[in-house]
Amino acid sequence: MTQPIIRLVTCGSVDDGKSTLIGRLLVETDSVPHDTVAAARNIRRSGSTIVAGEVDFSLLTDGLEAEREQGITIDVAYRSMSLLNGRRLIIADAPGHEQYTRNMAVAASRADVALVLVDAARGIRTQTLRHLTICSLMGVTRVAVVVNKLDAVGYSEDVYQGIVKELSSVATRLGILDYQAVPVSALAGDNVVHRSTNMSWYKGPTLLEYIQSWNKKVELLVKPHLGVQLIARAENFRGLSGTIFNGTFTKGDEVVVLPSKRKAKISQIVSYGEDRNSAGDSEAVILVLEPDVDATRGDSVELASNFTVPADRFNATLVWLGETELVHSRSYYLISGSTQVPAIVTKIRHRIEIVSGDHEAAEALAMNEIGTVEIASDSPIALSPYKKDRNSGSFILVDRVTLNTVAAGMVNHVLRRSENISEHKYEVDSLARATQKNQRAKVIWLTGLSGSGKSTIANELEKRLFAAGMHSYVLDGDNLRLGLNKDLGFTRADRAENVRRISEIAHLMADAGLIVIVALVSPFAEDRDNARARFEKGKFSEVWVKTPLEVCTARDPKGLYKKAADGSLPNLSGVGQEYEPPTNAELVLDGTEEISVNVESIMRELL
């Protein structure tokens, strides 16, 4: 019987010796070509203190030239290693720098065993605790705290025990049950593969013994799941292609395609060109269904007798990786496997304080912070709690503008209210309502600095439309803050929520067949882009009222610039708070031009 592969991640703060430790493991288990080892005797990092002729073990895992030049690990280095008991080990050497936490989180998400290193001379650092927390969140089942560089502190048992005592309480708090502390010197080789004669006080396993003793927990895989990656077509069939997780599909099984909940039976299972009676966990297959129900990439297939009910509201834990902070009410792409849907973080329930583990109130999450949030997706998706299924319970959030990955997420549970809400389709639709009014429904979104002339242009535009017998309405930012949005301030998070609410109102009004004019500073491009995404193509037009700041300041119709000058209004857009000019606006107006000229431009170009 083939033994399961062990997937291991090494982590900890920078310079704790991760690369050196893994290099020694590779060399002493004869898992590195001899010519590579010979090269590691001759190449030196800048500033290296290793004696010429000795192996620089750290070079065996650092593949990027930039890493060698800086003396740090940037990317995750993957290496295969043969254990002494014949098992195979896949090692992920994760970077220690805080700015590369995202790399470490990705490596931990697939790991069975984690080695969290601590430099005995430096002690426990914040990044050590952050990595230990991420390992717990990512479901790593076995964790070894490797107290490294004991040779630098005279192999002191007291130093070791002090570190172990502090981290043991952290492991208990995080719910890490399979936990072992091992004192080592990666540079000298103590307790890495061979037992140390310098630490006779330590009676536990060597690091290699601890790794080799891991056995995969036997799980009852009874809820097979296949995420549809593509639709496979051939002359005689059309099938759903993907990888099976968490169980087995058998020919003749009744299945359901999610989120549509359409049922069918498996008439054929194809894997690498061969017909199969069944296929199980981690196998790539094509499922041919009868009847041939409609499905597309991003859908999933599960047994009809035991399937995940699709939902659009989730409680989840996020490791925030974005350089700009997370604020609620901003839309991102949620990607889980092949599934991708727009989603909004509706609430940040709390932030996890890394050192103490306390749950702190928070309105935002900064880079590398961890928090619990509530998420709403635009359409139902089949996600499971992460603790039950790593594959269908994990996701990432992607910035819709830059397409950068900004968060790694783990589903805690589905919010019950998602099960009690469903969209009701009415026979009279948006087109019918607009046709009745003899017009095209449209949203004209006026953005610009305070005093740029947005409200004045909106007022004159509505007068023109009214005189022409057209049905319109103005949504003015200040007016809405007197009522619906009176609970919102002017922080980045509150501005995002302000834009979200107004875009939802505008969407409803456009659905009613109206021409909607929005006059709103809306200073951040991402918020405006999220508003645009709420509408079908052609139904949303962004208009930048481009007026120089000095002109706006001279006008100062509300006295805001005067308040900003005396310090009583610190976050005025364009002064104390950034205003991001549009880059893809349908129309740019000169705010110093006559109002009638600007209104005529809108009428001519957009309506």
Active site residues: 522
SS (H, E, C) 343-411: EEEEEEEEEECCCCCCEECCCEECCCCEEEEEEEEEEEECCCCCCCCCCCCEEEEEECCCCCEEEEEEE
Residue closest to 475 by CA, chosen among 438, 521, 432: 521
586/465 Cα distance (integer angstroms): 19
CA dihedral 224, 227, 233, 238 (to 10 degrees): 50
Cα radius of gyration rounded to whole Å, the chain? 30
154/159 Cα distance (integer angstroms): 10
Element (H, E) at 474: strand 472-476
116/99 Cα distance (integer angstroms): 18
CA dihedral 437, 441, 442, 443 (to 10 degrees): 90
Report the SS3 class of residue 527: helix
605/607 Cα distance (integer angstroms): 6
- Say if CB 277 and CB 269 are below 8 A apart: yes
594/591 Cα distance (integer angstroms): 8
End-to-end CA distance of the chain: 71
Residue 378 burial (CB count, 10 A): 14
- Say if CB 465 and CB 472 are below 8 A apart: yes
The first and second tokens of residue 130, run together, are 């952050």
Strand bridging mode 262-271 / 274-276 = antiparallel
Q: How far is CA 578 from CA 171, 296, 367, 545, 588, in A?
A: 42, 42, 20, 16, 19
Please report which residue ranges of 468-584 form alpha helices under DSSP H.
Answer: 477-481, 492-511, 525-533, 549-555, 560-565
Q: How far is CA 424 from CA 72, 148, 373, 428, 460, in A?
A: 56, 61, 28, 12, 37
Task: Write phi, then psi, for 268 (nearest 5 degrees).
Answer: -160, 140
- Say if CB 592 and CB 548 are below 8 A apart: yes
